[in-house]
Amino acid sequence: MGAQWKAKHKEAAANAKGRIFGKLAKELQIAARAGADPEMNPRLRLVVEQAKKASMPRDTLDRAIKKGAGLSGETVQYTLVKYEGFAPHQVPLIVECLTDNVNRTVAEIRVLFRKGQLGAEGSVAWDFSHVGLIEAAPASADADPELAAIEAGAQDFEPAEEGATLFITDASDLDAVQKALPEQGFTVVSAKLGYLPKNPVALDNADKLAEVEAFLEAIDGHDDVQNVYVGLAG
């Protein structure tokens, strides 16, 4: 299933686009804590590029940056919380949330896990590798992802959306590989730490897969959920 699960045709729906903007706004606010100028704040610069790629309105983008940098008079503190457990048919998953109310979020996540199984911390993390995930687009037609991965020091790579490549790195090498990829003909779109399943579960029929997909869409649709990492093959 790759490094990070995404709902099918998600970008096509207007309500899904709103959820994407909401998630990006939180990331912009957190990145802007280190400064509101993207030229001086590499993390913010990457999130700004993601927001532009998603066609986020300029005023929404600017408002999120000012809020995060404390320039708007509003202060919101988000906490990163991680939940582990199983989707139907014992498919392991890790859910990352950014929330301003941990008690509310955990109560709502428990409800969403009713058709699965919410586990304790560490219950499935052992079955995932903590890695760097860098999505990069070729800057020219002759850019070679395999050669770029070798030269930049990535562990592996796989195709991503819209002709981009997902480069997978050791967690400690994320920054170095991110900086090296432009020299190999790739423009970095996003870079973050995430999780890669070690033993993805293969489901043997379409009904089971549809059940898991519906469960994951409900999880991903929650306003506080930022990333969903799933041990699902295919």
Q: Is 144 exposed, middle or buried (0-12, 13-18, 19+ CB in 10 A)?
A: middle
* Fold type of domain 79-113+200-230: Alpha-Beta Plaits (3.30.70)
Site of tokens 């927001």:
51
CATH topology identical between 10-69 and 79-113+200-230: no
pTM tops 0.85: no
**H-only helix segments in the chain:** 14-31, 42-53, 58-69, 102-112, 145-152, 174-180, 206-220
pLDDT 10s digits, 122-180? 999 999 999 999 999 999 888 999 999 999 999 999 998 888 999 999 999 998 999 99
How are strands ordered across the β-sheet holding 186-197?
A: 156-159, 165-170, 128-138, 186-197
**Pairwise CA distance, residues 66 & 48, whole Å:** 13
CATH of the structural domain 127-197, one choice from 3.30.70.100, 3.30.70.980, 3.20.20.70, 3.40.390.30: 3.30.70.980
Helix (H), strand (E), coil (C) string for 110-133: HHHHHHCEEECCCCCHHHEEEEEE
